[in-house]
Structure 1
Amino acid sequence: MSTGNQRITVTHGVGMLVAALLGSGVFIIPAIAASIAGSWSLLAWLIMGLLILPIVFTFAALGKRYPHAGGTAYFAQIAFGDKAARVVSWLFIWVVALGAPVIVITAANFLVNGLTSIGIIEHASSKMLFLCALLMLFLLLFFNLFGLKAAAIVQTLLSVCIVGCLLFVSVNSQVTQPFHLPDTPFQLSTLALSASYILWCFLGIEAIAHLANDFKNPHRDFPLTIIIGIFITLLVYTVISLSLLQMSFYGDERENLNSVISLVKLSLGGKGYIFVSFAGFLTCYISVSLYFVGFSRLLSSMAKQQQLHAMFAKVNRFSVPYLGLIFAVLMTTIMLFNYHYSGLDLEGLIAYANGLFILIYLAASVAGIKLLSGYNKKLAIVASLTCLLLFISLGSHAWFAVGLLLLLIFYYRVKRKKRS
């Protein structure tokens, strides 16, 4: 069943996807990867770029053939039935619950630093961080209520500005400074560890799958958006990583957190810190916005298939399923309160969210094996094997995803027996 309003262009889609994939990762993951594997981190980026391609092309093929607001849940439904779709839907709901607060808090931290630098805030504090996070959620709710097209235009413009500035400062440092990469001994263990952190940078493809049917021409525009968006993202990450290695802007946790700040200061001077702070906020804002929009589309699709209450299918005059959007904001707000008052561990949230992300990718890939044919089916097989490899690499952090998956399967099995 179509639920889209057919108004997104390829340009808008690419802008939203690039911002989602850059997210908070672009400001810290390249430095972390460099601090782990040194110059070999460039090989880790290449490996992850190659590993993610079968998954990317599988999503593109599925989205082209089956454009629907349900995204991966819809792919699972037509491949394996309603129960599989419901399990995948709830996995995505938990992804938003665990992943969105991490990005919101990261964005709030950037905003607080920027406002402190220009004198609007006297000093950064946990209370101010919490208030800025709530402010960001209000802005997300407000702008997305006016429709996907309005949000997409704003996000595309921001993406162009952010990507352009990051590429400029990176290339500028490579041209104006002596170019030399550190000599790093090769170790397979550090290469694998570096690649596991890089994985976080490519989590976001599944969110735009929920918007496939909102493109003007889904069969043509959605695959183009996926392919162009991934190419631009890989280019940005690689160029930034190369500059950080060249300038040795990485090391301990503090140096990694300030790596891109140091790079921007090199090209733009003292104002670079302010730029990075607000650019970081805007990038994270766009990333969370895409997830909230995809989440609201998913709940609307679930409601129309009688998996949730029918009220989640209601839309406002801008064709926005507003109750799903409000629910996403409310759920994230609750997690923020838990973080602020109970000392919730962000690193744990990231690790657990990674496991759920990979399970969702695996569900789409396995569905692709059944639904696609020819070359696309072979890619889906490779994508499935890739997802299994990535899931195993998570180690003990994968147990949360496994436990949740088994719990959902058990719940629906018991529910089906009661009905029969």
Structure 2
Amino acid sequence: MSTHRIGLAQGTAIYVGAILGAGILALPALAAATAGPASLVAWVALLLFCVPVAFTFAALGARYPDSGGVATFVAKAFGQRASGAVGYWFYFALPAGAPATAYVGGQYVAHTLGAGQTAALLVAAVLLLAAFGSNMVGLRLSGRLQLLLVGLLAVLLLVAVVTSLPQASTDNLTPFAPHGWGAVAQAASLLFFTFAGWEAVTHLSGEFRDPARDLRRVTITTLIVIGVLYLGLALTCVLVLGPELARTEAPLTLLLQAGTGSAASMVTAVMAMILTFGTMNAFLAGASRLGAALARDGVLPAPLAKGHRPGEVPRRSLALLFLLSALVCTFALTTGTELAHVMLAAAACFIAVTVAGLAAGVRLLPRFSAVWWGALVATVAMTVLLVFSGWFLLLPLVLGALAVGWSRAASGRRRVVPVNPPAAAEPATSPAGTTSGPATVPAAANTVASTPATVTEPAG
């Protein structure tokens, strides 16, 4: 059994990989088309909003380091049934989110290289298989691979920025807000998902060498890295590309062409693959451990619990995620389901998980502390965003109902086995030396299937 633990460098790489996504390749252009150069204000605002969200999850992970992640936080705050629903939201949204993310990366690579739909699907399949494969080996490989790829990605982004800066012009900042300041809010809504992902890595909190110390350090380092990369890229795109930024589908390719010439397409394709793989790698690492934790707690079938302990590899949980992802891919391809609908359905679940985790922070963190106020403000903001998911909210509602139903059915199938067999029980003696009857295990100790003192087995 592996005893590998995440350190500061690998932890930062996994966190950065979870936050960065292939959207960064196109969103600077979409945001500029919406708000003009004032889209830079939206980038800064969202980075600032990331701070309370990130530190809320870091504080909760330090207090309750467990593979259950947000589900564990919710269990502490609101009970096991709510926890099971949150666990289902994240776990069963992943088989939709991962293939969709892989396909986005495949499309960008195919577009950049001038290839067609077949090439996009092939690249997506390779990226998906690579992410599952690295996690099957364990965090020792996936963490080091993530560190290598995120380092390479940072270098490539910095090359794009530095080599194109000589062509920057402040004239491209005017007019600064051609569509009014209301458009800045629309741009911020568009850019939100480039800053999401903090909830995904909470499931790895128990894998750190020292969660109480390392999670805060990793969070700070990640905020600095994504701040430099996002703001540097967005500002350079505006200053170098000017009005052309709002008209292109591949701003990073144009930026690289301005600085490196003919190598731009190949470099952009490599970056798209790294961004896509990094996101899936981080989300799979978290989701697979969540599945094992849910099985440990009786919310999923018990055989999936294998690998839930820190340092272990939850291969059975990963295998189920792979099977479900394959089914989603097959369904989408045979029915012609739009990619946008798949992504919005997954997004509704992920936003719901974030809201639940932040609400747990309001309940569990020291009241009126700085991190508590941050959790409160972020909970309100994210709840408003969740409402705009529309009819896609039906998916988390259905998954929540299934989680509650499974928990009730599972509890009905179990019977509690006494820790001490009846024949071996001895009369309990009070301090005064009087016999008070047979020793019993307090009923409260047997209310949660995952309580260490409780032994459960299927009835019959």
User: How does the TM-score come out when normalised to structure 2?
Assistant: 0.82
Q: Secondary structure at the match of 1:205?
A: coil
* Residue of structure 2 aligned with 1:200, choices 180, 193, 207: 193
The answer on 1:235 being equivalent to 2:213 is: no
Name the stretch that deviates more: 88-97 or 152-161. Answer: 88-97
Provide the aligned C-alpha RMSD in A: 2.5
Gaps of 5+ in 2: 413-460
Return the structure number with greater helix share: 1
- For 1:258, the aligned partner's letter is A
Q: Secondary structure at the match of 2:318?
A: helix
* Residue of structure 2 aligned with 1:391, choices 383, 386, 389: 386
Matches within 5 A, 1:15-414: 15-112=13-110, 117=113, 124-180=115-171, 181-183=173-175, 184-185=177-178, 187-246=180-239, 247-248=241-242, 249-252=244-247, 255=248, 257-315=249-307, 319-374=312-367, 375=369, 376-392=371-387, 395=388, 397-401=389-393, 403-411=394-402
Contact 1:172–1:267 (Cα < 8 Å) also in 2: yes
Contact 2:68–2:203 (Cα < 8 Å) also in 1: yes
- Deviation, 1:166, is 0.7
- Deviation, 1:300, is 0.7
Aligned to 2:10: 12
- Provide the rounded CA distance (Å) in 2 between the counterparts of 1:9 and 1:143: 18
Gaps of 5+ in 1: 118-122
- Provide the rounded CA distance (Å) in 2 between the counterparts of 1:146 and 1:410: 34
Q: 1:414 to 1:287 in 2, by over 3 A?
A: closer
Contact 1:4–1:213 (Cα < 8 Å) also in 2: no
Q: 1:381 to 1:178 in 2, by over 3 A?
A: closer
- For 1:77, the aligned partner's letter is A
Q: Secondary structure at the match of 2:246?
A: coil
- Provide the rounded CA distance (Å) in 2 between the counterparts of 1:412 and 1:100: 22
Contact 1:130–1:340 (Cα < 8 Å) also in 2: no
User: How does the TM-score come out when normalised to structure 1?
Assistant: 0.89
Name the stretch that deviates more: 33-42 or 336-345. Answer: 336-345
- Deviation, 1:131, is 2.8
Q: 1:292 to 1:410 in 2, by over 3 A?
A: closer
Q: 1:220 to 1:124 in 2, by over 3 A?
A: same
* Greater RCO (Cα-Cα under 8 Å, separation 6 or more): 1
- Deviation, 1:239, is 1.1
- Provide the rounded CA distance (Å) in 2 between the counterparts of 1:208 and 1:293: 8
Q: Secondary structure at the match of 1:260?
A: helix
Contact 1:72–1:206 (Cα < 8 Å) also in 2: yes
Contact 2:344–2:392 (Cα < 8 Å) also in 1: no
Q: 1:322 to 1:58 in 2, by over 3 A?
A: same
- For 2:26, the aligned partner's letter is I
- Provide the rounded CA distance (Å) in 2 between the counterparts of 1:6 and 1:168: 33
Q: 1:113 to 1:39 in 2, by over 3 A?
A: closer
Aligned to 1:120: none
Contact 1:299–1:313 (Cα < 8 Å) also in 2: yes
- For 1:21, the aligned partner's letter is I
- For 1:388, the aligned partner's letter is T
- Deviation, 1:177, is 3.6
How many positions carry a matched residue from both structures? 404
